[in-house]
Amino acid sequence: MRARGDAEEMRGAVGDPRRVPPALAPVRALLEEGIGRAYPGAVLAVLHRGERIIRWAVGDRSLTPTRQPAAPETIYDLASLTKVVVTVPLILQAAAEGRLALDDAVAAHLPECGPSAVTLRHLLSHTAGLPAWIPFYLEAAGYDAVVARAAARVSGAVPGGPAVYSDLGFILLGEVVRRTLGAPLDVLARGRIFGPLGMIDTGYLPDRALLERIAPTEDGTAIEQGMAGEAGRRHTWRRRLIWGEVHDSNAYAMGGVSGHAGVFGTADDLIAYCRLWLDGGGGPNGRLLDAALVREATADQTQGAGRGLGWALTGPQGWWGASLSPRAFGHTGFTGTSIVIDSQDDLAIVLLTNAIHPGRDRTEILALRPRIAAAVAAALL
């Protein structure tokens, strides 16, 4: 345990970056090391024992059309963080309200899935036997059309095998939430999660008035064109800077609102979200998640494969490596975003970047993220 003087010195890291406490200097150095290599810029926020210890922005939020510096208030495309920031808590709320059970067959809520042994728990833990990704947007446009294509894959799936991280499962879970709770995902997220937690800059379909605060992602869609291969040769791809609209092409085809991607937000707002999980589901104005379901969501559902309900757990699935406790859980987003929450050490790390801007290799951030987590842990724990 650190002395009071050390804790007060740590709090200085929130403000002027020129006053970085010596213990946190390695963290700052790593963050700056990533500029131009792993990302154009980044925002790092760290919460420890209820206090925000770090709130740093480095580098640029955009390199094109003009170079603009990153700021703590920069809004990022959170990509797959949508899964755990929106879809998981809404499913848990619906379960707590008795509107569904985690072991319900998915077909009980989405009959178009057809006869299948796949359950909601399988979808949440990525053990439904579904493919990781399918470019539905090559043949389908519109929310309902993409959901229908994903649902058609369920009847042939064999659940209960190895965990395979799958966007398809969370596309379907988003639709389960929509039907069960009776409103579109963006409305539910705003009313049930973002509003109660004071996440004022987080949501789907950001207003164009916020554009100057939003970090653009890829200039064009070369990454997904490469993933789609020959099948995408005739597709009408976005050939512009993707800025203020979701990068993920399936989510874009769905109108920007899906259970697997689509949410934009800030590091400050994600710190508020992390507090919810560190507090066992308690929000600033009342309980938002059932405490028992919080424990279940962050427990291994995969017989050692390191997957909870939506969350990756400490182990081979965790981006933070071996630096945090066995009780840590987190997630990443394709655009270069990540969070990890360690309930044992009362710690949360939020690292937001647009690593694919303007059209770059993501390899460097994959290596840098665990080093940053390890440096934070070395400084604080």
**CATH number, domain with residue 16:** 3.40.710.10
What is d(CA 45, CA 66) in angstroms, rounded to the nearest whole number?
Answer: 25
Structure-token pair, residue 376: 């934070």
On whether residue 100 sits in a domain, the answer given is no
pLDDT at 1: 30
| pLDDT value at residue 125 | 98
pTM equals 0.95
103 contacts: CB under 8 Å, gap ≥ 6: 119, 120, 121
CA distance 302 to 316: 13
Q: How far apart are CA 373 and CA 307, in angstroms?
A: 19
Q: Is residue 60 part of a domain?
A: yes
What are the angstrom distances between the C-alpha of 213 and each of 32, 60, 76, 292, 350? 21, 12, 9, 38, 18
The reported pLDDT for the residue numbered 3 is 37
Query: Rounded to an integer, what distance in angstroms lies between the CA atom of residue 41 and that of residue 73?
Result: 13
Q: Is residue 171 part of a domain?
A: no
Question: What pLDDT, on a 0 to 100 scale, did the predictor assign at position 348?
Answer: 98
The answer to whether position 120 is within a domain reads no
When divided into structural domains, the chain yields a total of 1
176 domain-assigned: no
**250 part of a folded domain:** no
Write out the residue range of the structural domain in which residue 266 sits: 4-81+206-217+261-380
pLDDT at 2: 41
Q: What tokens were used for 352?
A: 């937001």
Q: Which long-range contacts (CB under 8 A, 24 or more apart) does 16-20 make?
A: 17/56
- Give the whole-angstrom CA distance, residue 19 versus residue 6: 14
Q: Which residues of the chain have pLDDT under 70?
A: 1-18
Residue 170 lies in a domain: no
Gyration radius of the chain's alpha carbons: 20
Residue 41: inside a domain: yes
